[in-house]
Chain A
Amino acid sequence: MNAIEQATAHGRDLISAASTLAELRAVEGEAFGKRSRLAAMTAELRGLGPEERRQRGQELQEARAVLEGLYSRRAEELSRSDALRRAQAERLDLTEEAWRFAGAGGPLAGVLEPPVPRGHLHLVTQVRQELEDIFVSMGFEVAEGPEVEDDWHNFEALNMPPHHPARGMFDTFYLKAGQSESVVLRTHTSPVQVRLMESRRPPIYAVAPGRCFRRDTPDATHLPVFHQLEALVVDEGISMSHLAGALDAFTDAFFGPGRRARLRPSFFPFTEPSAEFDVTCWVCGGDGCRTCSGSGWVELGGCGMVDPAVFEAVGVDPERYSGFAWGLGIDRLAAARTSLGDIRELLDNDIRFLTQF
């Protein structure tokens, strides 16, 4: 065993003998640091000839690297075991609390638990549940779908083949998964329409609430993460007058009697004819105020008759069936109803905000 090997062996012994992180740190200098034999030998290199110095220098460097590797592995082991030791020392049997609580509220209760004020559901949840209840009462079921979607359900089946210019209406987030730009965060709840129609035959009367994503810079009226409620009706003999009637019925239930929905022509690739729908301003009742910028109407969402191309994509016969669909913003409804100026407050989760509703 030459001197370098001996020095290495010594360092290795020191490192493996340390049983805590503190001990390990204490031996670093002697094992391969400034006070080590390797360091002393490195200092002696100066006296050697160039060739010998190069070779010995390299050997010393390698030995040092070996010890450094050992040191960091040992440090990791010890910090894990330190943590385990601490965990062991601080261990609590959490099931004790569960069984202590088992008597509360039952016949074994020794003392009453003090009452606590209820917490609050998020405003967006409250509005979503209210919407669900209204549509259930109108005979709709509540459907759901995934937030991460494939290109087919988010675009192609909705009459937006690759490179379709209408895709530009949505600023889409893509995931690094599968082929490039093939997996998206859904830009709307409309893919749930496709999933519903793929999974069964009409008649379909459904709403689909859920989270959607668009690559919009957040501002007072936009969030890149937001919530929509989709509606889909597919049956024989469904016409645009049913769409208008259903919107009226919803408006009546949600905003109160006397409120009306109105349709204006618009464009969406997955509906034809397409429309935007407005409702009578809930603040002024149609007289004109700040909320509706004087028009008496507030824009709520987009709607229309399901495009025959969508029916063809999911294998529904457009000559036999027709249908309507709409999408509206749940957060926007929540903000509008509470006169919330900045929609970003919905995401702050400030307890003073949450407990108002």
Chain B
Amino acid sequence: MRVPLSWLRDFTPVEAAPQDVARALSFLGLVVEGTEEVGPPWPGVVVARVLETRAHPAADRIQLVDVDAGNGEALQICCGAFNMKAGDLVPLATLGTVMPNGLEIARRKMRGEWSNGMLCSAPELGLGHEHAQKGIYILPPDLVAGSPLASALGLGADVVFDIEIGPNRPDCFSIAGVARDLAAAMRLPFSLPRPSPGAVVPEVAAADVRIDPAAQDLCRRFTGTVVENVGAAAVPPLVSHRLALAGMRAISGVVDASNYVMLELGQPNHPYDLDVLGGGGLVVRRAEPGEALVTLDGVARRLEPSDLVIADASGAPVGVAGIMGGSVAEMGPATATVLLEVANFDPLAVSATGKRLGLHTEARTRFERGVDIELALLAIERFVELLGPHVRRGPTTDVGRGAPVQPPLRLRPSRVNMLLGTELSGEECRALLAPLGFVSEADGEDAFSVRVPSWRPDCTREVDLVEEVARIHGYDRIPRRMPSRPVAATRLSAYQRSRRELRDALVGTGASEAWTNTFVATADMVATGLGPDVALELENPLDQSQSLLRTSLLPGLLRAVRFNRERQAGAIALFELGNVFCRAEAVPAAPGPVPGAGTIPGVQEWEQVALVVAGEGAGSQWVVRAFEVLRRSLQLDSLGLHRQDQDPSPGPGALVNTGAFHPGRVAAVIADSSPIGLVGQLAPEVASRYELNGPVGAFVVDLAPLLGARRPAPPALAVSRYPATDLDLAFVVDDGVQAQDLAKTLAGAAGDLLGGLALFDVWRGETLGAGRRSLAFRLRLRAGERTLTEADVSRVMAAVVQAAADGHGAVLRQA
């Protein structure tokens, strides 16, 4: 909301510098987002006295006007208006003046006669009096010729604060409300002046306004006043000027007065042209089902019985209550008599209707937060006062009046001090609340009974009063201390520590961490070989192409890798840890532990780790090594890789991601005999859809079972001091035999003497036959307490050769 400082001064005598006022407002919670210094309006425009009007010798649509611009000399102006006479005071735009519309005034000849400036109409000055006065703006007779127009009309430089008002402060959607808070914080007096409108004219009819019985729950108060002779009504220039500063355009006397009252007091109101209202009155009622109305913005609106409409006395709708008037009874140049509606509507009803119609208006903003029910009569008086002495107003009709009366609140200063950490006395609390309109009376010992003013519907509990005390006392005056809890050792949970170690291990492989969007497109999933139908869908995506929750980290990582390759990155490895999501029925129960996940019906959510590597040197070997690095760094001893097609009951991560991998170059990560993820090369068509050439390696593993496979801290193993013997054995096996299985068999057969096992050579050749290969293992043998003997070595060799032959049909290759 834009708030001119001069307007605040109508209510409180604030003299502080603008930046201090801005700071004070911000520290009340009325955040000043901008401070704008505005010079006086119309520089270059002065008050001039008309000396003589003369016919133009060569034109009859313009005349010559001699004016005195303050120096007593006659200045000739050519003018197209004829409404002034000698002695009138008029605004003169002197040479060099730039008009509000950008026109620069220069000395020029019109049909052979010099014009030394321009006489101005009200609209040319941005004053919206077009209905009231045609032609040049005739100024009040008591001004001094030659003085700048702005100062002559009482307008000066100003400062406008742009204030963000929170949803909890309905009263601050008004200049008066902001001024009340400011006065309290700056310890200044505040007063709401009583307007002095003309007396009620008995001949003017009382307004016919009614609330339909079926709408009484949605309309708390409905008041109306008939005002006649508004055609000639003009609001003071100050009103138009302040509206402009507040960001509203001046339109006509009646509309300007209406808007001014809303901004000043926070009471939305609506003037209707009485002569076009059927039956000459208004009724507020629920809309008929399917009832339609064209609002002031020219849009046809369909209404429902939960909406409140303003209808004329004949039943025709003329406005959506509390939101926007209809175009039928709009004010026009011919309007002579208005019926001013000032009402109070149910906030939730206005909010629901406004939301459904997608209509954001100043009135809705105020009503849906709650307008002070006591404001109505004051608003009417102020409206009539602004229209000046020439209008004639009738008596006000006031119906409804179902003000919810708030019971007084009990405030314990001890509670204030407990919650704030302050040491305020009861008297201090009472004095802090008083300027905001809260009236406190002692209620027993150490407590007050506090009456909440009608403009503060947000204060319904003791704690709300505590906040008011804190605000006016000043948050910056609250002392600071650390909570003094009993000392307790805290640390990250085992899971959280493991997760950090995992990140560190992955970084150690040379991969860098990415974080990618949780939202993916159906096209991303299809491109990655994932089934989009298991994904959860957003009801209201920002962008239709980002409407699914990721079921896997792979699409995001692949996009990130492509992004980098497009920018000439060479080989690149990226990893991510993050949550993924599936429809509950689509996958087996998600592995924990995201605390609370699993309680949301229809949703599986779990944490995953994935890595993608592309470019020169990427491929399945790279990721297998990277996976081994993290397996060994975290002592995930029980994890193993296994051919992916062997296990029937994969976990969700392994299940969802199968389609992304090359079916012949993927291994399952096995924990507790269940696949918890996949390692390998992505399917070539997946890679090519991301414009990645050559093999692309990846792994994706569900995090909780991965970290759950950590072995507990091992007891230290005694290191043997005796020499070791290495046994190199090459076995010829079918391609169907996995190196992993053979290695485990060898290890089992070698028994306690085995101190290390690694594959050092893989060889294929015609001599071995098609579909067979040689796997050469090195076995390091040692004993803890003695030197190995020949017999030991022979025994182990015999045992492993036998076990390999029995288990895998392996034949020892003769060197």
Task: Give the distance in Å from the alpha carbon of A99 to the alpha carbon of B731 in the complex.
Answer: 14
Binary CB contact string for chain B from 539 to 570 against chain A (1 if under 8 A, 0 otherwise):
11110000001000000000010011001010
Separation of A119 and B475 alpha carbons in the complex (Å): 45
What's the Cα separation between A100 and B503 when bound, in Å?
Answer: 24
Bound Cα distance from A224 to B347, whole angstroms? 30
Q: B480, B507, B575, B740 — which one has the most chain A CB atoms within 10 A of its CB?
A: B480
CA distance A93 to B481 in the complex (A): 63
Q: Which residues of A contact B180 (CB under 8 A)?
A: none
B519 close to chain A: CB less than 8 A: yes
Cα–Cα distance between A195 and B516 once the two chains are bound (Å): 26
- Across the interface, B481 reaches (CB within 8 A) one of A174, A185, A225, A242, namely A242
Of B21-29, B296-304, B803-811, the segment with at least 4 beta carbons within 8 Å of chain A is: B21-29
> Please, how many angstroms separate the alpha-carbon atoms of A183 and B506 in the complex?
34
Q: Does A166 contact B (CB under 8 A)?
A: yes
Tell me the smallest distance from the CB of A199 to a CB of chain B, in Å: 8
How far, in angstroms, from A354 to B514 measured CA to CA in the complex?
A: 8
Complex Cα distance A195/B600, Å?
A: 13
A224, B515: Cβ atoms under 8 Å? no
Question: Quick check: which of A10-18, A21-29, A264-272 contacts chain B, the rest being far away?
Answer: A264-272
Q: Which segment of A32-40, A50-58, A67-75, A132-140 sits at the interface?
A: A132-140
A317 at interface, CB cutoff 8 A: no
A96 at the interface (CB under 8 A from B): yes
Shortest Cβ distance from residue A61 to the other chain B in the assembled complex, whole angstroms: 32
Q: Are B755 and A107 in contact (CB under 8 A)?
A: yes
A101→B625 contact, CB < 8 A: yes
In this assembly, does A30 line the interface, its C-beta being within 8 Å of a C-beta of chain B? no
A46 at interface, CB cutoff 8 A: no
Give min CB distance, A79 to chain B, whole Å.
11
The interface residues of chain B lying within 8 Å CB-to-CB of A106 are 756, 758
- Chain A residues closer than 8 Å to B169, beta-carbon distance: 267
Interface residues of A in 160-210 (CB under 8 A from B): 163, 165-166, 168-169, 173-178, 180-181, 183, 185, 195, 199, 203, 205
Residues of B near A244 (CB, < 8 A) are: 478-480
The residue in A100, A110, A168 that gathers the most chain B C-beta atoms within 10 A of its C-beta is A100
Complex Cα distance, B665 from A99, in Å, reads: 16
Which residues of A, 84-119, contact B by the 8 Å Cβ criterion?
Answer: 84, 86-103, 105-108, 110, 116-119
Query: Are A96's CB and B759's CB within 8 A?
Result: yes
Collect the chain A residues with CB atoms within 8 Å of residue B663's CB.
Answer: 83-84, 87
User: Could you tell me the distance between the alpha carbons of A217 and B543 in the complex, rounded to whole angstroms?
Assistant: 9
Instruction: Of the listed stretches A1-9, A231-239, A283-291, A335-343, name the one at the interface; the rest are far from the partner chain.
Output: A231-239
Roughly how many angstroms separate A344 CA and B726 CA in the complex, as a whole number?
56
Q: Assess A165 versus B536: contact at CB under 8 Å? Given A96-B775, A244-B480.
A: no
| Bound: A34/B459 CA distance, A | 83
Q: Choose one: A98, A199, A241; the contact of B479 (CB below 8 Å).
A: A241
Interface of A, helix, strand, loop or mixed by DSSP:
mixed
Contact (A349, B740) CB under 8 Å given A263-B478, A265-B28: no
Contact assessment for A100 and B760 in the assembled complex, using a CB-CB cutoff below 8 Å? yes
Interface stretch of the complex, out of B62-70, B196-204, B482-490? B482-490
Decide if B739 is an interface residue (CB 8 Å cutoff).
yes
Taking a contact as CB atoms under 8 Å apart, the answer to whether A225 and B517 are in contact is yes
The closest CB in chain B to the CB of A331 belongs to: B515
B156 at the interface (CB under 8 A from A): no
The answer to the question of B603 belonging to the interface, with a C-beta cut-off of 8 Å to chain A, is: yes
Docked-complex contact A349 and B560, CB < 8 angstroms: yes
Task: Say whether B769 faces chain A, with CB atoms less than 8 Å apart.
Answer: no
Judged by a CB distance under 8 angstroms, whether B574 is at the interface is: yes
- Residue B452 interfacial (CB < 8 Å): no
**Contacting B482 at CB < 8 Å: which of A121, A141, A144, A249?**
A249
Report the bound CA distance from A169 to B167 in whole Å: 9
Question: Which residue of A90, A96, A98 has the most chain B CB atoms within 10 A of its CB atom?
Answer: A98
In chain A, what residue has the closest Cβ to B370?
A: A165
* B513 CB contact (under 8 Å) in A116, A119, A203: A119
Query: In the bound complex, how far is the Cα of B583 from the Cα of A178, in angstroms?
Result: 11
A99 (CB) vs chain B CBs: closest residue: B759
**Are A233's CB and B564's CB within 8 A?**
no
B762: which A residues are within 8 A, CB to CB? 96, 100
Decide if B579 is an interface residue (CB 8 Å cutoff): yes
Q: How far is the CA of A100 from the CA of B624 in the complex (A)?
A: 10
A313 at the interface (CB under 8 A from B): no
User: How many A-B contacts if CB must be within 8 Å?
Assistant: 347
- A350 and B482 contacting across the interface, CB-CB below 8 Å: no
CB pair A350–B563 under 8 Å, yes or no, is yes
Return the chain B residue nearest A149 by Cβ.
B600
Which B residues are CB-close (under 8 A) to A325?
Answer: none
Instruction: Say whether B418 faces chain A, with CB atoms less than 8 Å apart.
Output: yes
Tell me whether B597 and A146 are in contact (CB under 8 A): yes
Complex-state Cα separation, A94 to B471, whole angstroms: 67
**Complex contact B758–A99 (CB within 8 A):** yes
Residue of A nearest to B777 (CB): A99
Contact A116 B509 (CB under 8 A): yes
Q: Assess whether B71 is interfacial by the CB under 8 Å rule.
A: no
Task: Verify if A156 is at the interface (C-beta below 8 Å from B).
Answer: no
Interface string of B564-593 (1 = CB under 8 A from A): 100101001111001101010000000000
- For A241, give the chain B residue with the smallest CB separation: B421
Q: Cβ of A239 and Cβ of B758 under 8 Å apart?
A: no
Who on chain A is nearest to B560 by CB?
A: A349
Contact with A along B376-415 (1 / 0, CB 8 A): 0000000000000000000000000000000000000000
A273 to chain B, nearest CB (A): 4
Contact present for B496 and A142 (CB under 8 Å): yes
Chain B residue contacts of A165, Cβ below 8 A:
167, 347, 351, 368-369
State which of A94, A147, A195 has its C-beta within 8 Å of the C-beta of B518: A147
What is the CA–CA distance of A100 and B583 in the complex, to the nearest angstrom? Answer: 40
Q: What are 16 A-B interface contacts by the 8 Å CB criterion?
A: A91-B665, A94-B667, A97-B624, A99-B743, A99-B759, A103-B758, A107-B756, A117-B510, A148-B605, A177-B603, A178-B600, A217-B542, A225-B517, A240-B470, A241-B481, A263-B478
Counting from the closest, the 7 A-B pairs by CB-CB distance are: A241-B421, A103-B758, A265-B29, A95-B740, A239-B421, A87-B664, A91-B664
13 additional A-B pairs beyond A129-B500, A224-B542, beta carbons within 8 Å, are A119-B513, A145-B594, A165-B351, A176-B536, A178-B600, A213-B518, A240-B475, A240-B478, A246-B482, A263-B475, A263-B478, A274-B467, A322-B418
Residues of A participating in the B interface, judged by any CB pair closer than 8 Å: 83-84, 86-103, 105-108, 110, 116-122, 124-125, 129, 132, 136, 139-150, 153, 163, 165-166, 168-169, 173-178, 180-181, 183, 185, 195, 199, 203, 205, 211, 213, 215, 217, 224-225, 233, 235, 237-242, 244-246, 248-249, 262-267, 272-276, 305, 307-308, 322, 346-352, 354-355
